[in-house]
Amino acid sequence: MKPSPFEYVRPRDLAEALAAIAQDPDDSKILAGGQSLIPMMNFRLARPARLVDVNRVPGLAGLAADGDRVRVGTLTRHHAMERTPLPGPLGDLLRRAAAHVGHLPIRTRGTFGGSIAHCDAASEWCLVARLLDAEMTVRSQARGTRVIPAADFFQAVFTTAMAPDEILTSIALPALDEHYRTGIAEFARRAGDFAIVAATAAVRVEDGLVTEARICLGGVAEVPLRSAAAERVLLGARWSPELVTAAAEAAAADCDPPGDAHGDPAYRRDLVRALIPRALGLDVRR
């Protein structure tokens, strides 16, 4: 199928983009990489009357240090994240997460911000944003700039806290120090598919003790899920493979995943048990 008729607008700067979407926010869509939007339009699951193409808008791509944070422009391509020279645990996490995103053509065209705004619960970037308590900066012509924490941003499947007239302009991530161990692991039927279950982790270990613990799961809820149960097990304990296994067991017991054609809830809990250790660089056989 082909998309229903639409108006195509290509603004030259952010002010023009905000003005274009403000004219008819409920019937307009932002076009960034288009890797989710265009297939949905082709199947007529999305029928916007207007596409606002922001690819020519300057200043919306790239990574930059911003105090104790790293700011990622919304138009930064997945492939650029995969090749980022950003040092330390955060750079390692971004490169590993990017490698899981789709296939090379998708990574070449798709964008970091577009993936987050699309809000798929199994999206690698949504998991990373929720894991690290990212802050999303959004702009609108009517209300100016506001910053939305990740805990409030992801609301339901394909639903965020953004208003229809807002554009996501950047995402701020904490610059993790060298004591962090970060990683991501996921299971999909085929390479490049969305994960059935995914796990991301950022655990700070100093002098053998866990001083901060962040575990986030995808594919087990409508939105990326921080596992408070796993984090409680880890925090303050002495680092060991047995500790990670206990945290994975706690995460599996605490989550309430859905069942579908890809796996029932028990299967997804088993994946949680397996993937959390792998995300932290451990291969724990059960």
- List the one residue out of 164, 136, 138, 168 whose CA is nearest residue 21: 164
Measured between alpha carbons, how far is 162 from 18 in angstroms, rounded to an integer? 14
In order of their start, the domains of the chain are: 7-53 (3.30.43.10), 63-174 (3.30.465.10), 181-279 (3.30.390.50)
Phi first, then psi, for residue 169 (nearest 5°) are -105, -35
The model carries a pTM of 0.94
Query: Do the strands 135-140 and 69-73 form a parallel or antiparallel pair, or are they unpaired?
Result: unpaired
3-state class (DSSP) for residue 41: helix
Please give the chain's pLDDT, 286 residues, in tens: 789 999 999 999 999 999 999 999 999 999 999 999 999 999 999 999 999 999 999 999 999 998 999 999 999 999 999 999 999 999 999 999 999 998 888 999 999 999 999 998 889 999 999 999 999 999 999 999 999 999 999 999 999 999 999 999 999 999 999 999 999 999 998 888 889 999 999 999 999 999 999 999 999 999 999 999 999 999 999 999 999 999 999 999 999 999 998 899 999 999 999 999 999 998 655 4
Q: Which pair of tokens denotes residue 173? A: 């991530």
Query: Do the strands 50-53 and 7-9 form a parallel or antiparallel pair, or are they unpaired?
Result: parallel
The 3 state secondary structure assigned to 221-272 is: CCCCEECHHHHHHHCCCECCHHHHHHHHHHHHHHCCCCCECCECHHHHHHHH
The count of C-alpha atoms lying within 13 angstroms of the C-alpha of 142, restricted to the half-sphere facing its C-beta, is 10
